[in-house]
Amino acid sequence: MLDNFGPAVENARKFQSAFGIAVSDLDAQKIEAANDAMARLGMATEGLGNAFAVNLAPYILATTTSLTDWIAALIGAQSALDELLGSSARAAAILGPEVAAALLESRGLVKENVTPKHPAASATLRTVPAVRVAR
């Protein structure tokens, strides 16, 4: 069983030497010191990332909340027009493109004095109170 052990070890030694795998004890100590330094750098970087996250978290939260609210308002204005007038395209046809665009741009501001050309929309608008979505 151990008869071929010597040549196998020699083949492994040659392979390790050819590819730089085999290192001296001194080189192994240098590699270990470099590995330790890289690990410390990784921990320091993680700590820096944590510090940034802690200090920036309130601003990130405020920004994402504002963006989410803004998107919800845009979607809400579109949905309100869709529910009130069927679709934004129909709203533009009924109210005119300028009024429909103003409704969308103001995030759902509906004024009672708007008189659309379509009689069904006029009756609907008179029964709906003015709505303003908070900015």
Q: Is residue 11 in some structural domain?
A: no
Q: Is residue 9 in some structural domain?
A: no
For the cut 50, the answer to whether the pLDDT of residue 124 exceeds it is no
Which comes out higher in pLDDT, residue 35 or 24?
35
Q: Is residue 14 in some structural domain?
A: no
Dihedral pair phi/psi, residue 64, rounded to 5°: -65, -35
Which comes out higher in pLDDT, residue 48 or 133?
48
Its pTM stands at 0.38
Domain enclosing residue 108, as ranges: 23-127
pLDDT confidence of residue 109: 44
- Range of 37-41, 55-59, 115-119, 130-134 with top mean pLDDT: 37-41
State the average pLDDT for the chain: 76
Q: Is residue 119 in some structural domain?
A: yes
Residue with tokens 């008189």: 115
DSSP state of 117: S
For the cut 60, the answer to whether the pLDDT of residue 75 exceeds it is yes
Which comes out higher in pLDDT, residue 46 or 73?
46
pLDDT confidence of residue 81: 66
Q: What percentage of the chain reaches a pLDDT higher than 70?
A: 67
CA distance 105 to 78: 10
Q: Residue 29: pLDDT band by 50, 70, 90 thresholds?
A: very high
Euclidean distance between the first and the last CA atom of the chain, given in angstroms as a whole number: 83
Q: Is residue 5 in some structural domain?
A: no
Q: Is residue 16 in some structural domain?
A: no
CA distances from 27 to 14, 52, 74 (A): 18, 37, 64
Query: Do the Cβ atoms of 89 and 79 come closer than 8 Å?
Result: no
The domain tally of the chain equals 1
pLDDT confidence of residue 32: 95
Q: Is residue 63 in some structural domain?
A: yes
Q: Is residue 68 in some structural domain?
A: yes
